[in-house]
Amino acid sequence: MNSQNIYLPYKMRIEKITEEAPMVKTFKLAFVNPEDESNFEFKTGQFGEYSVFGAGESTFCIASSPTHKGYIECTFRKAGKVTTALYNCEEGDIIGFRGPYGNNFPLEDWEGKSVLFIAGGIGLPPVRSVIWNCLDLRDKFKDITILYGAKTVQDLVYKNELEEWAKRPDVKLITTVDPGGETPDWKGEVGFVPSILKKASPKGENAVAIVCGPPIMIKLTLPILLEIGFTEESIFTTLENRMKCGIGQCGHCAVGPYYVCKDGPVINYADLQLLPVEY
């Protein structure tokens, strides 16, 4: 008779807060109830509804990798009502989390292939989950290349991890900032992501690309990926429409008959082109 209330969030304790960039924070969240933790499973690319009681819910990806058990992480920029309330939270506070929702990156299909990650600004968090997932299963993939750009050096998120990836011999990391965004001691590239991609031109054969960032970056990056040999089926992105329920009911994220929350958010470029441009 009494079915589960799908809107009841898990209670999560904020274990650690990292200030990533201006207005951007990462929360490390642990389940308050141990049984919730043991029942919880997710796959990379999935997202959740994070809530501050009294302010409401906000949608973003799970930024940690499913290979890292016992906690989840999320990274968000202070923008609206809920993210502002989250931004003001302190370590030890309890927030709500519903999820995981949506589909995931098809890592099994990528085995034996090279993986190219391209992220811009606050587009790195969803990609970071996949990066760690791939790195934790490093043997299964060929070359791993990460191209990450932000407006300024200050705007780069996960600075410690960028250093860690840079040191790894099994990862090729290219970081770049927009012209004018560099500091005197900046050692990375200066230029927009699409032109840096063209310069680096990693091989598209037997490879997949994951692209996440501002719409304009995605738009200008796609043609270059096709140029250097990636196929439409091998380019993946994650859509970000306004969402409320996360389960294909509230209607907000619908792009034609496709629900970003249920049928997405992960989609390849071939499928993306079949949708009306309402994202």
Partner 1 sequence: MNNYKLITKQNLHSFFDALQPKNTIIAPKEINKKYYFKPVDKFEDIALDYIQTVLSAKSVLFPRSDTLFNYHRADGDYNIDEPSPIEKNTIVFGMKPCDASSFVYLSNFFLKDYQDKNIKERLEKLYIISLSCKEADNACFCTSVGSNPASTKGSDLNLTLIENDTYYVEVVTEKGQELINYSADLFQDTKEIDKSKYIANVPQKFDVEQAKQNIDSIFESPLWVKDSLACLGCGICAYACPTCTCFDIQDIGSQFNGSRVRNWDSCAFDLFTKHASGHNPRPVQSQRWRNRIKHKFEYSVENLGLISCVGCGRCIRSCPTSMNIVKTVQIFQGV
Partner 2 sequence: MTELQNIAKKLFDDGSINLLIGYSNNENGGTSAIFIDNSADIDKLIYNENCHQNLMVYFQKPEVKKFGKLAFVVSLPGLKSVLEIASENQIKDGDAYFIAIDKDGNPSLLQDFHQIEDFITNNQTKPPMGLLKLMEKINNMTREERWQYWTDEFSKCIKCYACRSVCPLCYCTQCITDINIPQWISTESSPIGNLDWHIARAMHLAGRCIGCGECMKACPVDIPLALLTANLNKSIAIHFGDEPGMKADYKYPLSHYKLEDKENFIR
Q: What are the φ and ψ backbone dihedral angles of 145, each rounded to 5 degrees?
A: -120, 135
Give the binding range for partner 1 (CB under 8 A) out of 102-110, 143-151, 169-177, 237-245: 237-245
Closer to partner 2 by CB, 80 or 256: give it. Answer: 80
For residue 200, which amino acid is it?
A
The count of other CB atoms within 10 Å of the CB of residue 176 is 25
Q: Is 220 in the site for partner 1 (CB under 8 A)?
A: no
Q: Is 187 in the site for partner 1 (CB under 8 A)?
A: no
Whether residue 125 contacts residue 44, with contact meaning beta carbons closer than 8 Å, is answered with no
- Which helix (H) or strand (E) covers residue 48, if one does? strand 47-52
Work out the burial of residue 219: count CB atoms within 10 Å of its CB; fewer than 13 is exposed, 13-18 middle, 19 or more buried: exposed
Whether residue 155 contacts residue 21, with contact meaning beta carbons closer than 8 Å, is answered with yes
Report which DSSP code applies to 9. Answer: P
| Number of residues counted as binding partner 2 (CB under 8 A) | 3
Whether residue 135 contacts residue 72, with contact meaning beta carbons closer than 8 Å, is answered with no
Give the binding range for partner 2 (CB under 8 A) out of 76-84, 134-142, 143-151, 226-234: 76-84
- Which pair of structure tokens corresponds to residue 191? 């230029």
Q: What are the φ and ψ backbone dihedral angles of 271, each rounded to 5 degrees?
A: -70, -35
Closest CA to 177 of 158, 191, 162, 163: 191
Q: Is 251 in the site for partner 2 (CB under 8 A)?
A: no
Residue of 69, 81, 199, 219 interacting with partner 2 (CB under 8 A): 81
Mapping DSSP to helix (H, G, I), strand (E, B) and coil, where does residue 240 land?
Answer: coil
Q: Is 256 in the site for partner 2 (CB under 8 A)?
A: no
- Which helix (H) or strand (E) covers residue 198, if one does? helix 193-200
- Which pair of structure tokens corresponds to residue 234? 């091998």
- The nearest distance, CB 143 to partner 2, in angstroms, is 45
Q: Is 276 in the site for partner 1 (CB under 8 A)?
A: yes
Distance CA 218, CA 116 (A): 14
Closer to partner 2 by CB, 55 or 162: give it. Answer: 55
Closer to partner 1 by CB, 216 or 270: give it. Answer: 216
- The nearest distance, CB 165 to partner 1, in angstroms, is 28
Residue of 22, 80, 214, 215 interacting with partner 2 (CB under 8 A): 80
What does R_g of the chain's alpha carbons equal in angstroms? 18
Q: Is 216 in the site for partner 1 (CB under 8 A)?
A: no
- The nearest distance, CB 215 to partner 1, in angstroms, is 7
Give the binding range for partner 1 (CB under 8 A) out of 22-30, 55-63, 194-202, 217-225: 55-63
Q: Is 84 in the site for partner 2 (CB under 8 A)?
A: yes
Q: Which does 84 bind (CB under 5 to 8 A by kind): partner 2, partner 1, none?
A: partner 2
Give the binding range for partner 1 (CB under 8 A) out of 76-84, 145-153, 175-183, 218-226: 76-84
Whether residue 122 contacts residue 151, with contact meaning beta carbons closer than 8 Å, is answered with no
Q: Is 103 in the site for partner 1 (CB under 8 A)?
A: no
- Which residues sit at the interface with partner 2, rule CB under 8 A? 80-81, 84
- Which residues sit at the interface with partner 1, rule CB under 8 A? 1-8, 11, 32, 51-57, 79-80, 83, 92-94, 96, 215, 240-242, 244-245, 247-252, 254-257, 262, 276-279
